[in-house]
Structure 1
Amino acid sequence: MTETAIPTVADIQLIKRILPHRYPFLLVDKVRDIVPMKSAVGIKNVTFNEPQFTGHFPDMPIFPGVQIIEAMAQTAAVMVGVSMDLADKNMLVYFMGVESCKFRRKVGPGDQMVMTVTTKRGGGKVWKFSARAEVEGELAAEAEFTAMMDFPKG
């Protein structure tokens, strides 16, 4: 019996097999550079046709800060899901807290957010991560967050 290698990249198809989120709340397009249980880099291509831009703000579309945090959290959840082979296993993730959050740069249509997440504590149900989102190498946001992973039974 051969052991399957853990992928270092998750495309949108694998992401959808791990996360329960769907449009318009699936906020990560690709996760790369996955180091199992430790870190990953998420990619979010921000486009003008996303629904939040009809109201935030019509004359100056800005990607909402809470959605930047959510995109970073989804990146972390994909990293955990890939690391623990949780594709197609109905994992749910719940925010427990957000700390040390700072927004440094506006993010808008045409930007590509590159989100780096690092595990600070994990392995059980409660995980803590540090994360940063950059656009063109410039820091857009940073935060630490805690999440509960609801792993499937069996």
Structure 2
Amino acid sequence: MSAPKSGSNAWGSRVDSVQEILNILPHRYPFLLVDRIVEVVPGERLVAIKNVTFNEPFFIGHFPGHPVMPGVLILEAMAQAGALLAGKTDPESVCSRLVYFMTIDNVRFRKPVIPGDQLRLELTLMKRRRDIWRFAGRAFVDGQLVTEAELMAMTRDRDGDAVTPATEGAS
């Protein structure tokens, strides 16, 4: 058995991908909705995976006896994949900042996503102008399109203008 290539490890790129996700996104369990990056072309596109398991907390009430992943969480998974594409495209300005989604347009939910499905998230960078990013997102299960949308986001400093419960509404 040969030694891993420089910059990799015994598990290959899968573990590296998990750490990359955690380095770029501020989200953590139970709201981290991207499990793995499988392909990235900085400035163009990113493909990521979300493994949908019966243990997801949202299945408890959506819907009892007939679990379906809420569409808004499919969109959130797309948004997180878009933030990853932004981070891989411009790590200097994105990774030290937060990516806030501003709009989601032209949403189409085509099929339900259920426990056991593997959601393949494909994000394409449509346009970037300074701190504003526009993405086309598509989500697939078993090669079938389940959701599509266009998303717009902006990057902002992590420290600036943060709203916390202690300062919210204070004057």
TM-score (norm 2): 0.79
For residues 96 and 60 of structure 1, what CA distance do their matches in structure 2 show?
A: 32
Aligned pair partner of 2:121 in 115, 121, 129: 115
Q: Flag the structure with more relative contact order, 1 or 2, with Cα contacts below 8 A and sequence separation at least 6.
A: 1
For residues 19 and 86 of structure 1, what CA distance do their matches in structure 2 show?
A: 14
> 1:62 aligned to 2:62?
no
After superposition, residues 46-57 of structure 1 pair within 5 angstroms as 46-57=52-63
> 1:94 aligned to 2:115?
no
For residues 81 and 147 of structure 1, what CA distance do their matches in structure 2 show?
A: 12
Quote the residue 2:35 is aligned against.
29
Quote the residue 1:80 is aligned against.
86
TM-score (norm 1): 0.87
Quote the residue 2:151 is aligned against.
145
* Contact 2:87/2:94 (8 A) holds in 1: no
Ranges in structure 2 where 5+ consecutive residues have no aligned partner: 1-12, 160-171
Provide closer, same or farther for how the CA distance between residues 88 and 79 of structure 1 changes in structure 2, counting only shifts above 3 A: closer
Provide closer, same or farther for how the CA distance between residues 14 and 61 of structure 1 changes in structure 2, counting only shifts above 3 A: same
How far did 1:152 drift?
A: 6.2
Quote the residue 1:4 is aligned against.
none
Provide closer, same or farther for how the CA distance between residues 86 and 58 of structure 1 changes in structure 2, counting only shifts above 3 A: farther
Quote the residue 2:131 is aligned against.
125
For residues 118 and 93 of structure 2, what CA distance do their matches in structure 1 show?
A: 26
**Max Rg structure:** 2
For residues 89 and 122 of structure 1, what CA distance do their matches in structure 2 show?
A: 16
How many residue pairs are counted as aligned between the two chains?
Answer: 147
Runs of 4+ in 1 over 3 A off after TM superposition: 86-90
Provide closer, same or farther for how the CA distance between residues 30 and 123 of structure 1 changes in structure 2, counting only shifts above 3 A: farther
* Contact 1:19/1:78 (8 A) holds in 2: yes
Ranges in structure 1 where 5+ consecutive residues have no aligned partner: 1-7
How far did 1:86 drift?
A: 5.0
How far did 1:37 drift?
A: 1.4
How far did 1:149 drift?
A: 1.6
